[in-house]
Amino acid sequence: MSVKAEPIQPEIHIVDYQQLPPYTRVLSVGSDSKVDKNRARMLIVPKEKVSELVALGLPDRRFFILSSEMELRSPDWYFLISKGKTLGLEFAGYATASAEVFDLINRQQAQPVSETAKQDARVIDQIVTKSQPLEWFRGIVQRCLLVGASDIHLELRNGVATLRVRLDGMMRHLAGYPAQVALEGISAAYTVLAEERSRTEVAFNASVAQAAMIPLDLPQQRLTLRYQSHPAVGGFDVVIRILKSSGSSTQSRILTLEKLGFTEWQVNQLEGAMGSAWGGLFIAGITGSGKTTTLNTLLASLTRNASRKLITIEDPVEYELPGVTHMSIQRKAENAPGSDPFHAAMLAFLRMDPDVGLFGEIRDQISARWPRRRFRLAIKFSLPYTQPRPWALFRGLARMA
């Protein structure tokens, strides 16, 4: 006869993996019979209910019951609690959880960390064909798109991967996942999907900083993801900028300054600057504020009559526009000043008879020095400049004057 366990905490419903108590392992196993003699010392759950009922092992010989709302206080739920106490374990509480949380627990249980840490070429081949890691990666990108995020942040620490997004310039928490599930998805995306020439390393490596461009096809939409990872104390971070490819249904719509939210006065000022025969235009703003989108909208307006030679130098190219020559470069921190590819690209740029040039960003002395020297030429320059404080833009312009 089952003995009902008294609740020791308010009932909660878990929808985020991070809400789970810090468990050490899954104690319950699926079986066709509750009286399996070979598993007398185990917490048994009917096989058909392993995705709705689970016992999690906690430190100090405690256990925690997780169930679907349908299985809460069912006979199997009470049996699991009773069996755990019979085995000398202390009942630490219970909660209900979403199907997604159960799926993450079961996926982590199915493949031990020690095996996935030794991924090789054979594993990569398996990833390509009907890959769960790649499906997980596509799923989080779609989820972030639905909320309107411009950047995806995955922060892996202490066995948990925190998913945060930048929305309207602010960081917001979205979800939590088992670190191993996230690691597999990130590794597959970088090693399998990333453009070969854009990768800083041949294969994913969490112990070094890596960058790449990842094309991603989603239903009715094609994206390009700008990937950057870096090791951190206790784990590593991945930051992904979501870019709409020129072939996607959303990007194919012609953007205008008005559609981007500029006022009539601002539009007149920008169009007047773009109509000038020389000088430069700087765009400043916080991350995700639309600097690159604004510059490319301005650049697209100059392609309509095909009367100018338009060249961009970017690290990497984020938007491809018809009628524009895009030069993609890849700078590394360890490059010596004399071998900086930006310097070589600028020399080539001046020999290509340009009318308008767009430089991806000002991030070092070389990229700052070139516009200052070339403003005197009959060439227009456009540059995005990441800086949340408006006065810094005028300070930069004053120093270049």
pLDDT per residue as tens digits for the range 103-150: 888 877 765 544 444 444 444 444 444 568 888 999 999 999 989 898
DSSP 190: I
Q: Which amino acid is at 324?
A: V
Residue whose C-alpha is closest to residue 227's, from 342, 146, 137, 117: 137
Q: How is residue 166 written in tokens?
A: 């930048």
CATH classification at residue 364: 3.40.50.300
Spatial distance between the Cα atoms of 293 and 361, rounded to a whole number of angstroms: 13
Whether residues 160 and 232 fall in one domain? yes
Asked if residue 360 and residue 286 are part of one domain, the reply reads yes
Q: Give me the chain's average pLDDT, please.
A: 77
Q: What are phi and psi of 107, to 5 degrees?
A: -70, -40
CATH number of the domain that 150 lies in?
A: 3.30.450.90
- Percent of the chain at pLDDT > 70 equals 74
Cis geometry, peptide bond prior to residue 10 (ω within 30 degrees of 0) = no
Among candidate residues 69, 91, 107, the one where a domain is terminated: 107
pLDDT at 251 over 80: no
Reference 3, options 121, 91, 127; nearest CA is: 91
pLDDT of residue 155: 96
365: three-class secondary structure by DSSP:
helix
Residue 5 — very low, low, confident or very high, per pLDDT cuts 50/70/90?
very low
**Contact assessment for residue 43 and residue 80, using Cβ atoms and an 8 Å cutoff:** yes
Do 120 and 96 sit in the same domain of this protein?
Answer: no
Q: Which of 82, 107, 132 is the last residue of a domain?
A: 107
Last residue of a domain, one of 70, 88, 107: 107
Interval 22-30 mean pLDDT: 88
* Residues 46, 133 share a domain: no
Of residues 162, 25, 181, 28, the one with CA closest to residue 103: 181
Q: Is residue 8 part of a domain?
A: no
Domain that includes residue 32, residue range:
13-107
Q: What residues are paired with 314 via a beta bridge?
A: 328
Q: Which two tokens mark 69?
A: 């709302």
Whether 265 has a pLDDT exceeding 60, the answer reads yes
**Contact (Cβ atoms closer than 8 angstroms) between residue 188 and residue 267:** no
H/E element holding 240? strand 235-244
Question: Are residues 213 and 319 located together in one domain of the fold?
Answer: no
Give yes or no for a contact between 61 and 90, defined as CB atoms under 8 angstroms apart: yes
Compute the average pLDDT of residues 196-218. Answer: 88
Tokens of 316: 């990497």
* Residue 252 maps to a domain: no
Same domain for 103 and 118? Answer: no
Residue 394 confidence (pLDDT) above 50: no
**What is the rounded CA–CA span in Å between residue 317 and residue 124?**
27
In a domain, 84, yes or no: yes
The answer to whether 176 touches 162, Cβ cutoff 8 Å, is: yes
Same domain, 81 and 38: yes
Beta bridge partners of 382: 281, 358
Contact, 55 vs 43, CB < 8 A? Answer: yes
Give domain status of residue 255, yes or no: no
DSSP per-residue letters across 19-88: GS---SEE-EEEES-TT-GGGTTSEEEEGGGTTTEEEEEETTTEEEEEE-TTTTT-HHHHHHHHHHHHTT
Pair 272, 217 in one domain = no
Evaluate whether residue 201 is within a structural domain.
yes
Compare 250 and 254 and report the one with higher pLDDT: 254
**CB-based contacts of 94: which residues, under 8 Å, 6+ apart?**
7, 9, 11, 64, 65, 66, 67, 72, 77, 81
Is the same domain home to 391 and 271? yes
Question: In the chain, how many domains are there?
Answer: 3
Dist. CA 168–CA 188, nearest whole Å: 29
Residue 323 and residue 202 in one domain? no
Query: Within a domain: residue 392?
Result: yes
Are the C-beta atoms of residues 12 and 95 closer than 8 Å to each other? yes
Q: What is the pTM of this model?
A: 0.63
pLDDT band at 357 (very low <50, low <70, confident <90, very high): confident
Strand ranges in 319-379 using DSSP code E only, listed in sequence order:
325-328, 356-359
CB 233 within 8 A of CB 216: no
Longest dimension (CA), the chain: 91
Confidence label for 70 from pLDDT (cuts 50, 70 and 90): very high
Residue 307 C-beta-side C-alpha neighbours within 13 Å: 6
Of the candidates 8, 223, 220, 224, the residue with the CA atom closest to the CA atom of residue 212: 224
5 domain residue, yes or no: no
Residue 35 domain flag: yes
CA dist., res. 315 & res. 198, Å (int):
10
Q: Residue 237 pairs with which residues in a beta bridge?
A: 155, 230
Band the pLDDT of 44: cuts 50, 70, 90: confident
Q: Select the more confidently predicted residue: 240 or 39.
A: 240
Tokens representing 227 are 């990937």
Same domain, 236 and 312: no
Residues 41 and 118 in one domain: no
